[in-house]
Amino acid sequence: MNVGVIGAGSWGIALTVLLNKNGSKVTVWSKFEDEVKMLSEKREYVDKLPGVKIPKTVDFTTDLEATVKNNEVLIMAVPSTFVRGTAHLMKDYVKDGQIIVNVAKGIEENTLMTLSDIIEEEIPQAKVAVMCGPTHAEEVGRGIPTTIVVGAREQRTAKLIQDLFMNETFRVYTSPDVLGMEIGSSLKNVVALAAGIADGLGYGDNTKAALITRGIAEISRLGIKMGGKAETFAGLTGIGDLIVTCASMHSRNRRAGILIGQGKTMKEAMDEVKMVVEGVYSAKAAMQLARKYEVELPIIEQVNEILFNDKPAAEAVRDLMIRDKKIEIGDGFEQ
């Protein structure tokens, strides 16, 4: 199958190499001439995915019209903050029913829309699917066994994408719960910032386990109220993605958190990580969602305080520890 990958960052390139291995003809679009030139010549993204060789059969281009028109399936792999703008540029070239698989993770501030909603709004004629899970590009690029989920309204679409990507190192599941998948994979970036902050403060594994467990409790509370399925938050795109993001040094959100925990400002941390730290944007959106759906998100609220109100990180952790006493599991006490 001919596949167009929109966005030539770490994830776009890792998926390109995987699709090429599976026999697809892949064309990668980038907005940037110098990136296209560098990738066409070097056949490796040395800064982002060192050691991952890109076969000669992969084409690179800045021609968005041709990429959209000449490929049956499109993979949207630009960072979340550029999804709307890129979809807007693509809309006139997309055929009726053409499949666009969003692999970016985020919620738009103010509109509070998921990225698949944004693509559907910008390109109503497209069939939009999503693909996410616990997947670092650095590991997928090296062929390390990985699992992921494709979400789509129609099972036929989900199965087609499953067939496209699945191989012996990349196991693909399907799900109809697109909303739950997108909420889990966006909000885990905010909890990853918290996990990084705890690491930066010098806290230990107990703190990390608490943040992961109570973090998924928050994410599911909100996600279920919004219409997501409880099982999704216990699955690969929920707790699975949260674990990998909170534990790995590949996570730019966790790395930014560590710097903030060590005393850097949000701006200094973002500059040092040198990539879009999506959790910062999703943190704001999550608080707006919490207000809209009247759900308590204590960890995410404290991350917002640290990021946007200069609250010292240690104070935020203390406030989490001494907030109102709660039950973990409510039912079953003897009277």
Ligand X SMILES: NC(=O)c1ccc[n+]([C@@H]2O[C@H](COP(=O)([O-])OP(=O)(O)OC[C@H]3O[C@@H](n4cnc5c(N)ncnc54)[C@H](O)[C@@H]3O)[C@@H](O)[C@H]2O)c1
For binding to ligand X (CB under 6 A), which residues are involved? 7-12, 30-31, 35, 48, 77-80, 82, 86, 103-106, 135-137, 275-276, 278
Helix orientation angle between 278-293 and 178-200, rounded to the nearest 10 degrees: 120
Q: Which residues contact 235 (CB under 8 A, 6 or more apart)?
A: 149, 175
Q: Which of 217, 275 has the CB closer to ligand X? A: 275
Q: Which of 115, 313 has the CB closer to ligand X? A: 115
**Catalytic-residue membership of 188:** yes
Q: Which of 199, 241 has the CB closer to ligand X? A: 241
Strands 127-132 and 146-151, by their bridges, are antiparallel
Helix orientation angle between 252-261 and 266-273, rounded to the nearest 10 degrees: 140
CB of 180: closest distance to ligand X in angstroms? 17
Instruction: Give the active site residue among 48, 105, 188, 284.
Output: 188
CB of 208: closest distance to ligand X in angstroms? 20
Positions marked active-site: 188
